[in-house]
Structure 1
Amino acid sequence: MKLSNKEKNIAIFGATGHIAKNLIYYFSKNTEHKLFLFSRNKIKLQNFVSSITADKNIVYDYYENIPSQSFDIIINCIGISNPSDVSKYDYDILTLTERYDEIIIEYLKKNDSCLFLNFSSGVVYGDFSQPANDEFLPDLFLDDFSRDAYSLAKINSENKHRALPFLNIIDIRIFSFFSRFIDLNTSFFISELITFFRDFIHPYDLYHLISLCIKHSESNFVLDAYSTSPISKYDILEEFSNHYDLKYSFKSDLKIEHPTGFKEKYYSLSKKAKNIDYNPIYSSLETILGESHFLIFIL
């Protein structure tokens, strides 16, 4: 999907992150646009990029250069990539999120045509006994200090962004994400209960959603990301058992940790993204099976 006939300078912060790698993969296929990639680990970033594409139209940049650059779009992918690490870095999460959020906002104030795409999270809803929907408003109040630092950081960012309606800022709430570029040492799956329901947006559908947001760049709003349908953990295990002869068992005494809170039905029924013509192609099951195929047989 092409963004426009005009070349765009697209900055990606936190370019070695899980979501960022997928955006680099898809955006690099569109040679009309130049990617400015920011990461504290340049060697890791360069090794990844060289494994998926040529370096044409890619600039490895430094955060200190931001004020002097000319960006059409800034995509913020900075964050803690492993859920099991969230509880270890409570204060760091708050300060890290605030620091780079302020850097981008200050840039937007001086470059008001630039669009800021920020990845928020479904955790802002607070209650996951039922899926999120348009009638169930997110818990965007900061006086509940029982919430974990990750949730508070996302809530704080969303509140601040809506308080700046004159800036072009779009928050995309991600509920679950899985791709061939996942770090296999993370605990995205094994730390959850068998009864969970999750919605794994396909990497291409996320790229498509972002492309549509870019077409509505003179905007300030928030929307939920979603696939065509969520899936239960039990169904995921059954599919892998059928396709790959996976053997699994359940332990009733297993200690389960939920660093960002217990989330039984962690997906959204809100379809506000339809307002910008978003219609996902893939289901959660198709996403997991398709991306797993690359992990198992290709990568």
Structure 2
Amino acid sequence: MTKPNHRIAILGATSHIAKGLIVGLAAAGHRLTLFARSPERVRGFLVLAGITQQVPVLPIEGFCEGSYDVVINCVGIGDPGKLREKMSSIFRVTEHFDNLVLDYQGRHPATLYLNLSSGAAYGQDFYEPVREDSRACFDINHLGMGDYYGMAKACSEAKHRALSGRPIVDLRVFGYFSRFIDLETKYLMCEVVTCLKRGEVFVTGSGNIMRDYVHPDDLVALVECCLEHPELNEAFDVYSLKPVAKFEILDSFTTRFGLKVRIEGDVAHVAPTGNKDNYYSVNRRAARIGYQPKYSSIDSLLVETEVLLK
């Protein structure tokens, strides 16, 4: 039986995650309409990605005028460096675009809303990976910059659950890496790949961390699972087949690509949303709707880096 081709609007089409979704969902035959503050950048990406079918690319201001089966909200500040600079605006940006989609859904109640949320919605307590019974943890009397991003995501999710009669799914992404990433952004893997491309030594601290990097194909597969259950009002943690430790990444990249590494005890990679020793989830609730990732974190990193280095 042929799967239906959905009319899908993607907001924030210039974002890293959006690019992988665009490629995967276009390949699956869905009819996409893309919205961005810089439509010309999206059109340039479509050419580079080899997407030849007609894909309308419009300013975000024109979003409310169309008709869609699904809306995917990828709007956000994806660069940790910029996030630190614009932390005070994260609430307004998040709420503005969330309300834009919710208002649209109010006029089109059958439209499924998929919101790209974050593992940061759990707060900053990642001494252990999160589980299905984990609770969000924010020190409400001593809020700091590391709390704001996660609180903005948690507030959106709470609003979505309060609208229990609407089809809304929040997808909490903990880690994502693809050939479409902007290597200028301040992520661990961007630094690693940049060192490889330049032949430089990657310098890191002696502490280990655990991360989970979902492959673009697996995230598309999870979106497809949600499309098959358009009645859902739910939140799902996004996970790969297996998380990966920092030193496993470095060992694999040394073996595969010849990465040069130097360990210095006083070097730390601090995220603007707080320190996260075990930033991943063992909550497998998404399996209930048929999600079965195919890639482990290390496989995702190796496959996508291979393309980046070319």
Which TM bucket (shorter chain)? over 0.9
C-alpha displacement at 1:142, in angstroms?
A: 6.6
SS in 1 for 2:113: strand
Runs of 4+ in 1 over 6 A off after TM superposition: 140-144
1:237 maps to 2:250: yes
Q: Which amino acid aligns with 1:128?
A: F
TM score, norm. by length of structure 2: 0.90
1:70 maps to 2:67: yes
1:269 maps to 2:282: yes
Q: CA–CA distance in 1 between the matches of 2:159 and 2:2?
A: 28
Q: Unpaired segments of 5 or more residues in structure 2?
A: 192-202
C-alpha displacement at 1:125, in angstroms?
A: 1.6
C-alpha displacement at 1:144, in angstroms?
A: 6.2
Q: CA–CA distance in 1 between the matches of 2:139 and 2:167?
A: 23
Q: CA–CA distance in 2 between the matches of 1:271 and 1:117?
A: 18
Equivalent pair of 1:122/1:173 in contact (CA under 8 Å): yes
Equivalent pair of 1:141/1:155 in contact (CA under 8 Å): no
Q: CA–CA distance in 2 between the matches of 1:28 and 1:53?
A: 11
Q: CA–CA distance in 1 between the matches of 2:44 and 2:54?
A: 16
Equivalent pair of 2:35/2:63 in contact (CA under 8 Å): no
Q: CA–CA distance in 2 between the matches of 1:209 and 1:140?
A: 29
Q: CA–CA distance in 1 between the matches of 2:139 and 2:219?
A: 28
Residue of structure 1 in register with 2:181 after alignment: 182
Residue of structure 2 in register with 1:225 after alignment: 238
Residue of structure 1 in register with 2:7 after alignment: 9
* Distance verdict in 2 for CA 1:125–1:192, change over 3 Å: farther
C-alpha displacement at 1:252, in angstroms?
A: 2.4
Q: How many positions carry a matched residue from both structures?
A: 294
Q: Which amino acid aligns with 2:37?
A: R
Q: Which amino acid aligns with 2:82?
A: D
C-alpha displacement at 1:86, in angstroms?
A: 1.5
Q: Unpaired segments of 5 or more residues in structure 1?
A: none
Residue of structure 2 in register with 1:89 after alignment: 86
C-alpha displacement at 1:140, in angstroms?
A: 7.7
Residue of structure 2 in register with 1:210 after alignment: 223
Residue of structure 2 in register with 1:138 after alignment: 136
Worse-matched range after superposition: 62-71 or 281-290: 62-71
Equivalent pair of 2:76/2:94 in contact (CA under 8 Å): yes
Equivalent pair of 1:34/1:59 in contact (CA under 8 Å): no
1:114 maps to 2:79: no
C-alpha displacement at 1:228, in angstroms?
A: 0.7
Q: Which amino acid aligns with 1:117?
A: L
Equivalent pair of 1:13/1:74 in contact (CA under 8 Å): yes
Equivalent pair of 1:13/1:75 in contact (CA under 8 Å): yes
Q: CA–CA distance in 1 between the matches of 2:288 and 2:116?
A: 19
Q: CA–CA distance in 2 between the matches of 1:3 and 1:103?
A: 32
SS in 2 for 1:249: strand
C-alpha displacement at 1:11, in angstroms?
A: 0.4
Q: CA–CA distance in 2 between the matches of 1:202 and 1:119?
A: 15
Q: Which amino acid aligns with 2:67?
A: S
SS in 2 for 1:109: helix
